[in-house]
Structure 1
Amino acid sequence: MLPTAAAWAAAERRSERVAQDWFASAPVAHLRAAFADADPLAVDAVAEAARDILHDADWITPLLVPLIAALANDPWFEPPLRVTRDRLRTTVELLELPAGMLSATVFDGAALATPTTETTLVASGRLMVARYPVTNGARLLRWHAGEANARFRAAEAPPLAAMPPLTLHDGDVVTIDGRTRAHLIEGTGGEVVALTFATRTAGLVREYARDSGHLLRVGATDQDQSRTRLLLTLLRHEGRRDAAGCFEAATYAPAFHLRWAAMREWLALDATTALPRLRTLAATDPHPEVRAAARATLPLVEARQCRA
């Protein structure tokens, strides 16, 4: 029988109390203190703080026990956590901090031990530090992907180069540099548990074919950049020509893909106003792909302006 509205409301209040107590708990305070002085942009320093905290296992059980107990005692308890699932794993985002995200992942043993031709390899763009409390003989397979710096070109990306695998042991703490490497967990049939801290500052995420090592696609994971693109799209849909300054500012962004995305939105909104900046990108943008795209677009825009 479905619960009544009153029962749902009571369950929500119980969940809120547990969540408030949990966020105010000593283990959460311990984690916040560990990264309190870390500059989110100083990725290597954040990773060092993450290694220090993950080498110490004393806080892990006290952090999780209250939530596990609430789940066991209350069938309607809603943890204050985001959960994602796929074929290989279930991941719980435990704590979001200015310096990064702490998450816990349980890898399905049967799925890890079952090879699939559909597997792709991902260089996440983030620097991660992981503690493996349970490994069951799993291995960390690794590939070198090269750097995706400000001059990265997808058409010239080298294929992945295999690195020696790393056999994991219970309690290992491993640094995984997704800025230059792709990785994959290979299991023997048993579950694998990981507690991971991922830095907030992110580069490009790159996906590769496992069989050939060739680059398949590239995406952006930076939240601020994604938010900027979303807002520019909204401004364009709303016809906000008075916001030309916002579009122009984004065409000077450090990320080359954001510069071009902003220019495309600006051209769709008001090609006349955007044209001078398009000419500048075509002539002087530091990234060759942006220059090429601008040069290919420029005569089309100019021809349309002449017909207008």
Structure 2
Amino acid sequence: MHIDPQIGALRGDHAAQRTMRSAVAQAVEDCRQEPGLAAVLAGLGAYGAGAELEDCSGLNRLVSQRGAAHSLIAPLVGRLVALHRENPLAQLAFRHQSRGGFHFLQLGARGRATLALALHDGRGGPTSPATATFPDAERHEIVLAGRAELALLDIVEDHGGSARIDSVPRRIMAGECLRFADATQSRIVQNAEGRLLVLRLARIARRPQPTRQFDLATGRLVHRASGDRRESRHEMMMALMGRMGRVDAAPVLAEMARSGSDHLRWQALRECLALDSGTGFEELERIARSPGDSLYSPAKALCARLVEAHPQFTQKESAPCPA
């Protein structure tokens, strides 16, 4: 592994690390205390708690007045760019992620709402995504800079494991605002001319449906994940317990299969079965005997398949799942 000399030197210079962390923290705090951004973050709190966007004046101004978002964000970006020119190895003080051609920086999160910058880098040429993601969230996307060709997507027929998706081409440029109401609407960037910078205001539903990803050519569902951040964390914890072989977690997973969204309950049941077939099958049978349970039909079908393939399930002995 090659380690740049600057990074190598910084690893042993704890004073320099503290100086950079302090500089970044102070810059972020200064930004958040500026009247414009402070008002927006206050509005984000109300919006995240369930208030109507029209009642959050600072936020509503961003999406309704042309140029308002740019005026708010430009000083923030300028301050952060200057900071990182002085301290190029400083870590970002915001939640962020990067992958090929896409970069994301979360400016704030309050309750169910988030405010973030999203950058699409089209310098590698036109792209044609094979899939599209549909989160159950109300979204507003204000174009701060750049131009791009998009496809606006609507699910017009939903069959669970597949969907018919309408696609409408749209060309956007700086100053425009896109709105997406719920889990039936999304968009993909097909060609960004240079870089496309977007300010994204989003609020997940109070009881969000799973976030789904569809293959655009066939309409086939290719991935499903919980639309709730708390449930997503629980999903990851359940998966970790399973990979660690924590048999002692089986009773907890069985309990988790009794409440929450259908998606989370089903995941808990699967992990429980894999860890301890006796505990998992007992919970599966309980659901399969409860016609009023929303998981009754899939549980009954899975129960029948498991008994047919593995008759030893009827013995209800605690053991790793043979399936």
Regarding TM over 0.5, the answer is yes
1:20 — aligned with what? 26
The normalised TM-score by structure 2 is 0.76
Q: Which amino acid aligns with 2:305?
A: A
Identify unmatched segments of 5+ residues in structure 2.
318-323
2:216 — aligned with what? 210
Bigger shift: residues 176-185 or 286-295: 286-295
1:185 equivalent among 183, 189, 197: 189
Cα distance in 1, alignment partners of residues 247 and 192 from structure 2: 56
Aligned residues of 1:46 and 1:199 also touching (Cα < 8 A): no
Q: Which amino acid aligns with 2:154?
A: H
Residue aligned with 2:199, SS: strand
Identity %: 18
Cα distance in 1, alignment partners of residues 214 and 201 from structure 2: 23
Residue aligned with 2:285, SS: helix
2:265 — aligned with what? 259
Aligned residues of 2:108 and 2:115 also touching (Cα < 8 A): yes
Residue aligned with 1:192, SS: strand
1:174 equivalent among 178, 183, 187: 178
**1:86 and 2:104 correspond:** no
2:306 — aligned with what? 297
2:87 — aligned with what? 74
1:158 equivalent among 138, 157, 163: 163
Aligned residues of 1:247 and 1:262 also touching (Cα < 8 A): yes
Q: Which amino acid aligns with 2:52?
A: A
Change in CA separation of 1:265 and 1:189 when aligned onto 2, cut-off 3 Å: closer
In the TM superposition, what whole-angstrom CA distance separates every residue of 1:3-38 from its partner, at most 9, and x where no partner exists?
Answer: 355645324323323323423522542232112223
Q: Which amino acid aligns with 1:186?
A: Q
State the Cα RMSD in Å: 3.2
Cα distance in 2, alignment partners of residues 231 and 215 from structure 1: 24
Aligned residues of 1:110 and 1:190 also touching (Cα < 8 A): yes
1:135 — aligned with what? 146
CA drift of 1:250 comes to 1.8
2:41 — aligned with what? 32
In the TM superposition, what whole-angstrom CA distance separates every residue of 1:252-300 from its partner, at most 9, and x where no partner exists?
Answer: 3342221111112223444434444312322423244454334433556
Identify unmatched segments of 5+ residues in structure 1.
none
1:45 equivalent among 52, 75, 96: 52
The normalised TM-score by structure 1 is 0.79
**1:98 and 2:111 correspond:** yes
1:231 equivalent among 219, 237, 240: 237
1:144 equivalent among 154, 157, 172: 154
Cα distance in 2, alignment partners of residues 5 and 276 from structure 1: 53
Q: Which amino acid aligns with 2:312?
A: A
Aligned residues of 1:22 and 1:28 also touching (Cα < 8 A): no
